[in-house]
Amino acid sequence: MNLLDKNGVELYVGADVEVPSPTSEDQWVFEFVGQVKELDKINNYAIVEDGDGDCWCVEFERLEIQ
């Protein structure tokens, strides 16, 4: 199973990704560039670490590899 970003590029642990502006359901406040720390294939999200060391769960299709 390929895990793809919003442009169809394969995601991988260690990738730098752009996380979009939050929706009302998201916990982060601003869009940011972070690093993929883990890929959850069962729940279809990546754990992305921001520049402050905080980690966020973001759906694969919302990410964009940099």
Residue 11 falls inside a structural domain = no
User: Can you give the pLDDT of all 66 residues of the chain as single tens digits?
Assistant: 679 999 999 999 999 999 999 999 999 999 999 999 999 999 999 999 999 999 999 999 999 999
The reported pLDDT for the residue numbered 1 is 65
Per the domain annotation, does 55 fall within a domain? yes
pTM value is: 0.93
Calpha distance 27→42 (Å, rounded): 21
Domain range for 31 is 16-65
Terminal CA-CA length for the chain: 22
Read off the CATH number of the domain in which 53 is found: 2.30.30.140
Q: Is 9 part of a structural domain of the chain?
A: no
